[in-house]
A = this chain, B = another copy of it.
Amino acid sequence: MFRDATKEEIDDTMNLAWTAFHEYRKRSLRQRAEFMRAIAKEIEAISDELVRTAMEETHLPDPRLRGEKNRTIFQLNNYADACERGTWLGATIDKALPSKTPPKPDIRKMLVPLGPVVVFGASNFPFAYSTAGGDTACALAAGCPVIVKAHPAHAATSELVAQAIWRAAETCGMPRGVFAHVHGAGFETGKQLVMHPLTRAVGFTGSYLGGKALFDLANQRKEPIPVFSEMGSINPVFLLPQKLGESVTETAKMYGASITLSVGQFCTNPGLVIGIEGKNLNDFIESLGSEIKKVAPAAMLHPGIARSYVEKRAAALKQEDVTTVAQSATSAGENEGSPTIASASAKAFLNNPVLHQEVFGPYSLVIRCDDEKEMLSVAQHLEGQLTCTLMATEKDVRDHPALVEAVQDICGRFILNGVPTGVEVCLSMQHGGPFPATTDSRFTSVGADGIKRFARPVCFQNWTDGLLPEELQNANPLSLWRTIDNELTKQGI
């Protein structure tokens, strides 16, 4: 339906973005924020068409897509507010001390944008992690032009959003090239974008194979560039004994819903639940099984994902010592994902890397540990995760310090008595985590701190006030929070 961009088109696109960069980064924080808010308005204006198109392309239901569209608009507005507040710039000033030996010069630092950012649309979030999604919003706030590689599974939706962004750019008088949209069904287009010498950073949300390949490419460039790949995870949930005893049915209900939400197509889907052998765990598994049976299969995002789900689930289920606990009572139609729960012993899990892999879809594996020591061992052998969850009473937490520590070590977000699905968009959110959840645990792709992925500090030494950027001038004309001689203040000098 959409033609892959040629090498020449990619080159033209990147050159245009590079030119736009030099204009766009000079726009004030307020102008950038207004542009982002205008994008949000343009998206809102075509909501119905967007949702209709996305439904056709992704098979996600209307309410889910409307919710995601609203979230996308919220992200744009929320990051626009953060952009304008400017705290993310980290403006820092150390005043001159001419009397020091040797004299200390005046030094002032702030973040400046890296340059053109290539963003890869995610298959499972046609709005919130695609064309005008979190990465795009962060890059625009930072002052970087964005080149989106549309996800081929929702290319028409992506095209509509791109047009909305262009309309907003026109309304706000933004330079041509501040946003570009490139189609490419295969890997080659993405590779060319990442390897282009004018590309300065990459944002990716998707599979481990895709995200790691881009990371490797970027590091093989003559000038390596930062790649933030969010590559999903299995989001382990630890059922601690006292809490489980108190809330078997409630926990099973909560997790039955979380595992099957949106046909399990979330990077925060709880794909692993760990408990300790006994009546409570047996009851939990039984209740979870009943919940899962009630949930009907539903169409997955695209045939490739449905196929992959069936294959990966089959591979997991045929591993030694893995038992299928329950599957949806309704049989699955074409391209539908059938909710499935399996269980295995901790020993099987500890010895079998296949069971550590994500099965993207409505699937979860319950691990039965002999005792608390074995539960700790599972925690210590897990790979990096976006989230980990404890279902635990206060006493459970206090009684298991080693477990709590081991679990915190492997995750970006640590949830107590909740579900990992549902990623709140706010400044305190950490949507990241140790490898292989992401390629750099020091950054987040949700929340306005994600802006910092696309900016670098520059310090100005011995500049006169009138020549400094507004953000660093004595009078503090933008009323920013700044650190002056080690103290945070909004006052001028």
Q: Which of A438-480 contact B (CB under 8 A)?
A: 439-442, 444, 449, 452-453, 455-464, 466-467
Verify if A428 is at the interface (C-beta below 8 Å from B): yes
Assess whether B104 is in contact with A424, with CB atoms less than 8 Å apart: yes
Q: Choose among B107, B424, B453 the residue that contacts A105 (Cβ–Cβ < 8 A).
A: B424
Verify if A432 is at the interface (C-beta below 8 Å from B): yes
Nearest CB in chain B to that of A104: its residue:
B424
Assess whether A461 is in contact with B226, with CB atoms less than 8 Å apart: no
Q: Choose among B81, B107, B219, B464 the residue that contacts A424 (Cβ–Cβ < 8 A).
A: B107
Which of A145-153, A242-250, A326-334, A481-489 is found at the contact surface with chain B? A481-489
Assess whether A92 is in contact with B394, with CB atoms less than 8 Å apart: no
Q: Choose among B436, B453, B466 the residue that contacts A223 (Cβ–Cβ < 8 A).
A: B436
A side interface size, CB within 8 A? 72
Verify if A429 is at the interface (C-beta below 8 Å from B): yes
Q: How far is the CA of A322 from the CA of B467 in the complex (A)?
A: 35
Q: How far is the CA of A442 from the CA of B452 in the complex (A)?
A: 8
Verify if A215 is at the interface (C-beta below 8 Å from B): yes
Residues of B within 8 A of A442 (CB): 114, 226, 452-453, 455-457
Verify if A69 is at the interface (C-beta below 8 Å from B): no
Q: Choose among B215, B418, B441 the residue that contacts A462 (Cβ–Cβ < 8 A).
A: B418
Nearest CB in chain B to that of A218: its residue:
B219
Verify if A195 is at the interface (C-beta below 8 Å from B): no
Residues of B within 8 A of A216 (CB): 219
Assess whether A93 is in contact with B428, with CB atoms less than 8 Å apart: yes
Which residues from chain A sit less than 8 Å from chain B, CB to CB? 22, 81-82, 85, 87, 90, 92-94, 102, 104-105, 107-109, 112, 114, 215-216, 219, 223-224, 226, 384, 394, 397-398, 405, 408, 411-418, 422, 424, 426-430, 432, 434-436, 439-442, 444, 449, 452-453, 455-464, 466-467, 481, 483, 486, 488
Taking A226-B440, A442-B453 as known contacts, 17 extra A-B pairs with beta carbons closer than 8 A to each other, sorted by chain A number, are: A81-B486, A87-B488, A92-B449, A94-B426, A105-B424, A109-B427, A109-B428, A112-B408, A216-B219, A223-B384, A224-B435, A414-B458, A414-B460, A416-B460, A416-B467, A428-B483, A434-B456
List 23 A–B pairs whose Cβ atoms lie within 8 Å, in order of A's numbering: A22-B405, A87-B483, A90-B449, A92-B427, A94-B424, A94-B429, A104-B424, A105-B424, A109-B427, A109-B428, A109-B429, A215-B219, A215-B224, A223-B434, A226-B442, A413-B458, A414-B459, A416-B460, A416-B461, A442-B453, A444-B457, A481-B488, A488-B488
